[in-house]
Structure 1
Amino acid sequence: MQSVVKAASVGQLAKASCLGVPANTALPAAAVAGPAKTYKKDGVLTSGSMSRLLPGKEGQMRIMSGISVGTQVRSIHAGNVDVPDFSYYRRSATKDPTSDNKSSIENRNAFSYVMAGTLGVSGAYTAKALVNQFVSSWSASQDVLALAKIEIKLADIPEGKNMTFKWRGKPLFIRHRTAEEIERERAIDASTLRDPQTDEDRVQQAEWLVILGVCTHLGCVPIANAGEFGGYYCPCHGSHYDASGRIRKGPAPLNLEVPVHEFMDEGTLIVG
C-alpha cells in the first residue's frame, strides 16, 4: 500500500481499480488485456515493480496496466473455507433449528438469572472484603492496642508521692495525696479559677489523683511536687498547677487532663 501511495504521489498512476477473482478460475478479459508496463524512471516504482510487491503465487499476475487504467488482480478463497462448529458451546435447548425461542425462554431466563445472581453475590462479597480491609487499615496496630490500657498497683505508691507512668505515649501522673492536700484543695472556691472545676469533679477517690502530665499550654511535661501551689510546675513557660491539677498561675489555659480510669476492688487502678 505504501508503494502504491508513493507511486501515485509522483503521477505514475492516473487511476486504479480492484477486481476480486475466485481461485482456480480464468482471469477476465479486462485483466489480461495487455502486457504489464515495467518501465522505471528516476528510481520511482512502476506498475510492474509494484506487481511483485503484491501478495500472490509466484508467476501469477497481480497488477495490469492499460493506456490510462491500472487493474489489480488478487485471488480470493471460495468454497474451500471450513466453517467452525460451535454446537459444543451452545445450550441443548437452542440446538434444534426448528424450535422457536418461546419454547426455550424459561431455560434461557433461568440460566441468565443464575448467572446474574452469582455475579451479584460474588461482587457484593468482594466489595465487602475490600471495604473491610480498607477500614481495618485505619485501625490501631497491635502494639498500640496493647498499650490502650494500663494496670497500676496502688500499693506501690506511698502517701504524699507522685509516680509517673507511660500510657499511650504520654506521661501519666498518679498522686497519692495526703489529708492536708485534700483539705486544702477542696477549700478552694472553683469560681475564682481560670478553668473552674471542683476537686470532687476531678477525682473518684479523694486520696488518688490521676492526670496526664502534659501542660495545656504547649505540651511540655510539668514537674511534680513543685511550684507555688505545691502541685505541678512547668518550667518552660511558668505554669503553676495545684495538687488537684488545676491551673493557678501562668499562661496555660486549662487544667491538666483527667483520663478515663477505674478503681478495682483489689487496690488496682486501670487507666484507659
Structure 2
Amino acid sequence: MSEKKVKRRDFIFTATYAVGAVGVAATVWPLVDQMNPDASVKALASTEVDVSSVEPGKTITVLWRGKPVFIKRRTQNEIDEARSVRMEDLPDPEKDEDRAKNPEWLVMLGVCTHLGCVPLNDKGDYNGWFCPCHGSHYDTSGRIRKGPAPTNMSIPNYEFLENNIIKIG
C-alpha cells in the first residue's frame, strides 16, 4: 500500500509544479511582450520618398526614425569634385563610390557627427554642408573635411525601388 501512495504523491507534486509553471509563464508573458515596439514605431522603420521633383543641385530633407535625412541630387560637377578628392586629404577616408549607390543621388543622415547638430546645406569651405554650432565642414559627399567632427555623416540603408522612389530603412 505504501508503494501506491508514493506514486500518487509524486503525481500530485508533478501536476502542481506544471500548473505553477504555466501560471508563471502566463504572468510573465505580458510583461515581456509590452517591451516590443508598438505599431507606430514599426511604421517608422522604413520610409519611401518620391524624388522625381528634386532638381539637380538641390537637396530635400525627410524624417526617418525621428532624424533628418538629406537626399541630394548632385550635378555632374559635384560628383566629379567628390570623386577627385585624394583619400589622404580626408580625416575619415571613404570613397564617394562607396557612399552613393547611384552617383547622382546622395542619401545620408543629416546629423553632424560631432555633437548631433543639423548642418546647413550648400555652405562651408567645400560647398557641401556646414555645421555652425562648432564649425565642421563637409564636402559634396558628406565627408568631414575640416572641424571637430570625428567621422563622415552616416549613410543609412536605402535602395531604389524605381528610378524616382527611394526606400530608406
Question: TM-score normalized by structure 1?
Answer: 0.57
Matches within 5 A, 1:26-65: none
Q: Tell me, what secondary structure is at the counterpart of 1:112?
A: helix
The corresponding residue for 2:125 is 228
Gaps of 5+ in 1: 1-100
The one of 80, 92, 103 equivalent to 1:206 is 103
The corresponding residue for 2:29 is 132
Report the Cα offset of residue 245 of structure 1.
0.4
Q: How many angstroms apart in 2 are the aligned matches of 1:249 and 1:118? A: 70
1:174 matches 2:74: no
Report the Cα offset of residue 171 of structure 1.
0.8
The one of 248, 259, 264 equivalent to 2:145 is 248
Amino acid at match of 1:152: V
The corresponding residue for 1:219 is 116
Matches within 5 A, 1:46-195: 101-102=1-2, 105-106=3-4, 108-195=5-92
Which structure has the bigger radius of gyration?
1
Report the Cα offset of residue 256 of structure 1.
0.5
Which structure has more strand as a fraction of its residues? 2
Q: Which moved more, 1:142-151 or 1:121-130?
A: 121-130
Q: How many angstroms apart in 2 are the aligned matches of 1:138 and 1:200? A: 39
Amino acid at match of 2:160: F
Q: How many angstroms apart in 2 are the aligned matches of 1:245 and 1:231? A: 7
Amino acid at match of 1:227: G
Q: Tell me, what secondary structure is at the counterpart of 1:200?
A: helix
Report the Cα offset of residue 169 of structure 1.
1.2
Q: Tell me, what secondary structure is at the counterpart of 2:55?
A: coil
Question: TM-score normalized by structure 2?
Answer: 0.89
- Cα deviation code 1:202-239 (max 9, x no counterpart): 11111111111111111111011111111111111111
Gaps of 5+ in 2: none
Distance 1:178 1:130, change over 3 A: farther
Q: Tell me, what secondary structure is at the counterpart of 1:121?
A: helix
Q: How many angstroms apart in 2 are the aligned matches of 1:155 and 1:129? A: 51
Q: How many angstroms apart in 2 are the aligned matches of 1:229 and 1:114? A: 79
Greater RCO, CA 8 A, separation 6+:
2
The one of 250, 258, 267 equivalent to 2:155 is 258
RMSD: 1.9
Runs of 4+ off more than 6 Å = none
Q: How many angstroms apart in 2 are the aligned matches of 1:115 and 1:153? A: 66
Q: Tell me, what secondary structure is at the counterpart of 1:166?
A: strand
| Equivalent pairs, count | 169
Identity across aligned pairs (percent)?
43
Report the Cα offset of residue 266 of structure 1.
5.6
Report the Cα offset of residue 196 of structure 1.
0.9
Q: How many angstroms apart in 2 are the aligned matches of 1:151 and 1:257? A: 18
Amino acid at match of 2:40: D
Distance 1:111 1:267, change over 3 A: farther
Q: Tell me, what secondary structure is at the counterpart of 1:123?
A: helix
Report the Cα offset of residue 159 of structure 1.
1.8
